[in-house]
Amino acid sequence: MISELAWSRSAMIGVAIILFWVFVGVAAPVISPYSPTEMHDARLQSPSPQHWLGTDHLARDVLSRLFWGTRVVVALAPLSVLLGILIAAPLGLISGYVGGKLDTLIMRGVDILLSFPTLLIYILIITSFGPSMLVVIISISLGSIPPITRIIRSLVLDVRTKDYVSAARLRGEQRRYILLREILPNVSGPIIVDTTIRIGYAIMAIGALGFLGLGIPPPTPDWGGMINEGRQWIFAMPWIVLAPAVALSSVVIGLNLLADGIREIAQQR
């Protein structure tokens, strides 16, 4: 699979960007020049040899905070999406394969939830239960479930009529076997593409929530939170805001490039 990715230039660039940030996230304690909460001598310093991205309003090293903030993003986003898939996949598979009343019921529910503006859902949930990592993860996975269900269902509908599925049914295989062994592997391609893009959405959502003050509470470094806190210092030291904004955008760009690349490759096949 990885070697196939080499076919597409977009995919390679995307992978490079993503791997870079994953590395940063994992290695943050080692590669950060300072601790993210340590307060140094002077606040709001411009970039200098001691502080490559300067210091923030509490005299903390911006670069270290940026690196540490990667962990939140790199961990929470895929986690939320995976959690969403865990719940959405069975729903979508069953709905698409079994059809009938169950399908109608599930899809009705999905449609209703899809018509609710996602950011509003997040705001409602987080202001009711208080911002914390757990609440953010749950909100975002809840928000991902309807669209993922829908996509999986339509993929299943596509595949359901294929020969190998009919063959399996004629063989007398169990429904569960058909779903897991015949259908699921054959829809995995588009699902991977969608998941990649959805992780990008999750990252943007985490950033937006942090920006609105509904994200991970301080002092845990978080890109969205850095932008929220740093907004009032934009004139004194714009890097507090610019660095996480650029970082966030680059991760999402990487994910989108990867998704594009995978799609290209699938088309070549």
Q: Is 27 in the site for another protein (CB under 8 A)?
A: no
Distance CA 90, CA 212 (A): 33
Query: Token pair 């990885």 is at which residue?
Result: 2
Q: Is 112 in the site for another protein (CB under 8 A)?
A: yes
- In this structure, how many other beta carbons lie within 10 angstroms of the beta carbon of residue 217? 14
Q: Is 232 in the site for another protein (CB under 8 A)?
A: yes
Shortest gap between Cβ of 102 and another protein (angstroms)? Answer: 18
Among 125, 142, 165, 262, the residue binding another protein under the rule CB under 8 A is 125
Q: Is 38 in the site for another protein (CB under 8 A)?
A: yes
Q: Is 47 in the site for another protein (CB under 8 A)?
A: no
Number of residues that bind another protein (CB under 8 A): 56
Site string for another protein, 80-109 (x = CB under 8 A): ----------------------------x-
Shortest gap between Cβ of 138 and another protein (angstroms)? Answer: 13
Residues constituting the chain: 269
Among 110, 199, 227, 265, the residue binding another protein under the rule CB under 8 A is 227
Distance CA 169, CA 162 (A): 11
Q: Is 138 in the site for another protein (CB under 8 A)?
A: no
Q: Is 134 in the site for another protein (CB under 8 A)?
A: no
Q: Is 260 in the site for another protein (CB under 8 A)?
A: yes
Q: Is 238 in the site for another protein (CB under 8 A)?
A: yes
Q: Is 78 in the site for another protein (CB under 8 A)?
A: no
Q: Is 43 in the site for another protein (CB under 8 A)?
A: yes
- Residues near another protein (CB under 8 A) are 37-39, 43, 57-59, 108, 111-112, 114-120, 123-125, 127-131, 200, 204, 207-208, 211-213, 217-219, 227, 229, 231-236, 238, 241-242, 245-246, 248-249, 252-253, 255-257, 260
